[in-house]
Structure 1
Amino acid sequence: MDASSKIWAGVRAGVRWLAPPEQWSRRRFAGEATVALLLAVLAAGLGQLLEASALAVVTESVAIAVLSLMRRRLPATVLAVTAALTPVGNGFLPLMMAAGWSAGRRITGAGRAVAAFAGAYVLCVTVSLVDTWSPSTALTVVLLTTLYFLAVAVVPGLASRYWTQRRTLLHTLQERNGQLLRERAMVAGQARLKERQRIAQDMHDSLGHRLALISVHTGALEVDRELTPRQREVVGVLREASVTAMHELREVVGILRDGVEASVPASVDESGRAARGTAGIAALVEAARAAGNAVELKYSGEARPLAAAADHAAYRIVQEALTNAYKHAPGAPITVDLRYEPDSVVVEIVNGAASDAIGEVVSGGQGLTGLHERARLVGGMVHAGPVPDGGFRVAGVLPYGIGEAPPFVDASDPFRQQSEKAPSGDGGRVNGWTVSEREWAMDGRGGHSRSSGVVMGCAIALGVVMLLGVAVLVGVFFLVGSIDKGMIEPSEYESIKVGTAEKTVRDRLPSGDTIATAGLDGKGPKEPEGSRCLVLMSSEVGESLESEPVFRFCFADGKLVEKKSYEVKR
């Protein structure tokens, strides 16, 4: 491997460490790169405005871009480094806010977060004191640095941590709500299964016993020699009907108990057992034709197996529709259409208008209602209604899937988010929605929760802002009060003569112990050998905003040996 390949391999490894593919999508990486570029450009602009050297501007911009990209991976480290560089750099203020935001949300544990921010604060204060060291201004520097750090690091960190904890709470509530819904569905399913098993047992014990007695007695009566051939034929029909009823009861009991068709022991006579499900539709049609009805059966699509309950439902839909056609439109042509669609099977029965007027028809009125319920239980639907030519149409749509339809989501759910997909990543998406979108989509009780959270967040922010306001007012008060200790009028400077006793001059001049004069020493002309100098500001404004007019008084051997007036670039 040549040197260039090794370099590129190292770069790729560094990128994977900085932005792991399982945590960083391309969209997120592009966003972070854009933020880093904007911070670097902003720092370069500030450096140019403050007339910094080109090398310093480039170095600072590159450092800011690198730190911005690393703030997700190393939040505490980036916060500490940024806090140490902010007092001596020109454009680290925006990065400080971004680092505080990232540290607040990404440092796990309150203790570790407090330690990270405390360490960053100590570094920021220490560098500020070293950069502008003066025993008389140390307290003022600490106060102003504290206010600065609270405003640009602590406040974004607190806001970010509150927002992240709120999102975490929302994720937890989502998962708990989904778990409760699943548990409720399981309990309801178990209750339904238990009730179905009870009904199946009752049907088996009562109807099974009665049908068995009918089958035994009709079987014995059929071989009675005293019966005429016509009577034997009628008794045989009754016996076959009872045997068929026994088979149907076994199937219904099996479906009620386990959701599948009951297995038939080898010792049971299957001679009278009619096919149930889609396989038995042809037999229903043949029986209808044998009774003198004009029935046409059509198939379309590739046949596919259905679940036992759905297969049985298809058979019952055809059976009930044919029965209704016999009752309400005797003699009318009937068409039975069985279509296998890609995602479901469609059973459609259409009969024409009745050819003759019919009298009152005796009906239980529960046939179509039962079909609707039967189809709903397997996740399908049934439509029944008249057709334009005066006939009637019954159509059922049944899925191929196994088992019953999943329970419907409760409309009163305050989160409106029963999703099988768990939240992923940092504020990842849930069922196609981001957490922020979910918060804004809530209403009803969810809206009340949102408003409570917003009120709490506003109260915290208001408290922090008030605390900062009080601190700023105190700082401004001390700063304004200390300016008098480092400023004189130009007329005062002119009235003081070289050679005057040092004590007399110092009694007339302020002490200069203020942060306002910090950084003015050593920036003017060379001081006289062996002298001690006092640098004060002028009450007049300089020629430009970048320079500060100052007065310097140098003392030696107990008297004023030199005074100078010049401008210093801040």
Structure 2
Amino acid sequence: MPHIAVGSTSARSGERQRRTAGTRRAALPHRGTLRPYALDITVILLAGLDVWMVGPEQVPSYSIVLSVLACLALAGRRWFPFAVLLLTVPGFLAGWAQIAAMFALGMLATRKQFHWQVWVGAGLIWVCRFFQWPLEEFMDLSWQMHVRNAIYGVVVAGMPVAIGLLIGARSELSARLAELAASRDRERILHAQAVRADERAKLARDMHDVVSHDITLIAMQANALSVSNTSAEAQRTADTIRQLSKHTLEELRSLVGLLRSSGQTEPSQPGITELDQLVRNTNVPVQLTVESVPDGLPNDVSAAAYRTVQECLTNVHKHAPGAGATVRVRGEDDGLRIEVHNAPGTTATAGLPSGGHGLTGMAERARMLGGTFETAPTEDGGFRVRASYPVDT
């Protein structure tokens, strides 16, 4: 038999690296959480710079206070956009907080889109840009200046609204695209599940119609043998065949039920506690040793150990008839170890069919559980199989 070795060192090291990287990421502050606050600070500084550069030197104190309050109110624009806009209106009308009011209107349009609050806020900003404080200066302006201020008011109020609507539409489009991608993923998963369900149903039908029928015939032939032959040896052989056929039919029925189900539940499988019965029912002389098996062994590890020993004894019966086998199951600190060794066969092989998938299946089972599996011929012409499974699977 070829040498097969399956290790899990690289997989475990990769898992440790991923856990370490996740711990480092958790220890460092996330950039996405700091970005909104940095943006808010930048907006407040820009609004304050606009007030400081545009405002004249000789101004009433209340104009300065209202302008500063309008700039500071931008700190709450993400949570209370309409209230912040209302707070910036006095600073724009009686002061120079135009940039602050435009930022507040833009955030309101981004959050509310076509809500009535957006249009009310746009009207207030237009009014603040059209009128001038104090009213005496507004009344002294010519009609040309009034027309220009009205046009500028449309620009000042319309630009934040347009940008906010654009940002909101882009966010909505991104959300729709993400939802569409998730829907396609769900459809792909459902289609794959449907295909697998069809394959499982077909396999279950074939197993039930062919394999179950043949095993039933074997059991019936064994019963006929026990009736027609009264010798003690024939009776023992027929009883062994009946017991094996019954056990095989029970496992086959469990597998067929699993295949016909959704595949979310695992059937009950034999484990280490059934190794004694397995050894008694096999036609191979076996010396079984079970040592220090930990309590609370996971079901998948226990089932894997049972299947490994079962497949090894089957291979001994097929490829080394007449040879004995030594089976040792030992619990250690890092997991469960299994070793099966057989001597060379003493009789000619029976020519039993073999698909060559037994060793591959055991190696795949060990890899899925994070263990190791290796096989190698021995110096005396026999064969040795070693497998290990972690107990914390």
Alignment TM-score, normalising by the size of structure 2: 0.66
Aligned: 1:385 with 2:374: yes
1:155-554 equivalent positions in 2, closer than 5 A: 155-224=159-228, 227-258=230-261, 259=263, 276-284=270-278, 291-304=284-297, 306=299, 312=303, 315-323=306-314, 327=319, 334-337=327-330, 348-351=337-340, 363-371=354-362, 380=369, 383-385=372-374, 392-395=385-388
Shift of 1:365: 1.6
Q: 1:100 aligns with which of 93, 98, 105?
A: 105
Q: Distance in 2 between matches of 1:388 and 1:211?
A: 33
> Separation in 2 of the partners of 1:339 and 1:349?
11
In 2, Cα distance between the equivalents of 1:53 and 1:312? 86
Give 1:36 deviation, angstroms.
8.3
**Residues 133 and 355 (structure 1 numbering): CA distance in 2 closer, same or farther, change over 3 Å?**
same
- CA pair 340-304 structure 1, distance change in 2 beyond 3 A: farther
Amino acid corresponding to residue 71 of structure 1 in structure 2: R
Q: State the distance in 2 between where 1:354 and 1:146 align.
A: 101
CA deviations 1:485-521 (Å, max 9, x no partner) are xxxxxxxxxxxxxxxxxxxxxxxxxxxxxxxxxxxxx
- Native 8 Å contact 2:222 2:239 kept in 1: yes
Helix, strand or coil for the counterpart of 1:50? Answer: coil
User: What SS does structure 2 have at the residue aligned with 1:364?
Assistant: coil
Q: Which residue of 2 aligns with 1:146?
A: 151
Secondary structure in 2 aligned to 1:336?
A: strand
Which whole-Å CA distance do the structure 1 matches of 2:187 and 2:152 have between them?
A: 52
C-alpha distance in 1 between matches for 2:215 and 2:224:
14
CA 1:118 to 1:239, structure 2 compared with 1: closer, same or farther past 3 Å? same
User: Does the aligned pair in 2 maintain the 1:40–1:62 contact within 8 Å?
Assistant: no
CA offset at residue 105 of structure 1?
A: 0.6
Give the structure with the higher percent helix: 2
Partner-residue secondary structure (3-state), 2:222: helix
Residue type of the alignment partner of 1:121: W
| Offset of residue 222 of structure 1 | 0.8
Give the conservation status (yes or no) of the 8 Å contact 2:68–2:91.
no
2 CA distance for matches of 1:229 and 1:261? 40
- Tell me the alpha carbon deviations over residues 360-404 of structure 1, each in whole angstroms, 9 at most, x when there is no partner: 99852211333466679xx7466433589995433456997xxxx
Residue deviations 1:141-162 (CA, integer Å, cap 9, x gap):
4425634763x55434433432
Q: 1:105 to 1:48 in 2, by over 3 A?
A: closer
Counterpart position of 1:50: 57
- CA 170–306 in structure 1, closer or farther in 2 if over 3 Å, else same: farther
Kindly tell me the number of residue pairs found equivalent between the two proteins: 352
Secondary structure of the equivalent of 1:89?
A: coil
Kindly tell me: are residues 323 and 82 of structure 1, through their superposed partners in 2, closer, same or farther at Cα, counting changes over 3 Å? same
Q: Quick one: which amino acid aligns to residue 368 of structure 1?
A: L
Cα gap change, 1:221/1:351 in structure 2, threshold over 3 Å: closer, same or farther?
closer
**Counterparts in 2 of 1:120 and 1:365: CA distance versus 1, 3 Å:** same
Deviation at 1:99, TM superposition (A): 0.9
The residue aligned with 2:3 is none
CA contact 1:303–1:340 (8 Å) conserved in 2 = no
In 2, the alpha carbon distance for the partners of 1:228 and 1:301 equals 44
Amino acid across the alignment from 1:195: E
Q: Which runs of 5+ in 1 are unaligned?
A: 1-25, 264-274, 401-570
**1:168-211 per-position Cα deviation (integer Å, ceiling 9, x unaligned):** 32223323322332343234334423432343233223333333
Matched residue, 1:496:
none
In structure 2, the residue matched to 1:487 is none
Change (3 A) 1:232 1:324: closer
Q: CA deviation at 1:305?
A: 5.6
- Tell me the alpha carbon deviations over residues 234-272 of structure 1, each in whole angstroms, 9 at most, x when there is no partner: 333333332232223223223323355779xxxxxxxxx
The 1:246–1:354 alpha-carbon spacing in structure 2 relative to 1, beyond 3 Å, is closer
Instruction: Mark the CA change 1:175 to 1:246 in structure 2 (over 3 Å): closer, same or farther.
Output: same
Tell me the distance in 2 between the aligned counterparts of 1:237 and 1:389: 31
Q: Is the 8 A contact 1:104 1:160 kept in 2?
A: yes
CA 1:368 to 1:205, structure 2 compared with 1: closer, same or farther past 3 Å?
same
Whether 1:75 aligns to 2:77 is: no
- CA 1:70–1:197: 2 relative to 1, 3 Å: same
Q: 1:200 and 1:119 mapped to 2: Cα distance?
A: 73
Are 2:284 and 2:313, in contact at CA under 8 Å, matched by a contact in 1? no
Give yes or no for contact 1:302–1:340 (8 Å, CA) kept in 2: no
Question: d(CA) in 2 for partners of 1:119 and 1:219?
Answer: 98
Deviation of 1:213 after TM superposition, in Å, equals 3.1
User: Does the 8 A contact of 2:78 with 2:107 survive in 1?
Assistant: yes
CA contact (8 A) 1:321 1:349 kept: no
* AA in 2 matched with 1:256: L
Cα distance change of structure 1 residues 44 and 155 upon mapping to structure 2, 3 Å threshold: closer
- Between the aligned partners of 1:388 and 1:95, the Cα distance in structure 2 is 82
Which residue identity is paired with 2:361?
Answer: G
CA deviations on 1:410-457 (whole Å, 9 max, x unpaired) are xxxxxxxxxxxxxxxxxxxxxxxxxxxxxxxxxxxxxxxxxxxxxxxx
* Paired amino acid for 1:108: Q
Please tell me whether residue 89 in structure 1 is matched to residue 116 in structure 2. no
* Shift, 1:70, TM fit: 4.6
| Aligned positions of 1:89-128 closer than 5 A | 89-90=95-96, 92-109=97-114, 113-114=118-119, 116-127=121-132
In 1, Cα distance between equivalents of 2:186 and 2:47:
50
Structure having greater relative contact order (Cα 8 Å, sep ≥ 6): 2
Deviation at 1:165, TM superposition (A): 2.5
Following the alignment from structure 2 to structure 1, what is the Cα–Cα distance between the partners of residues 215 and 185? 43
Give the residue type in structure 2 aligned to 1:217. Answer: Q
User: How does the TM-score come out when normalised to structure 1?
Assistant: 0.49
1:102 CA drift (Å) = 0.8
Measured in 2, the distance between the counterparts of 1:243 and 1:382 equals 32
Which amino acid counterpart does residue 64 of structure 1 have in structure 2?
A: C
The answer for the alignment partner of 2:67 in structure 1 is: 60
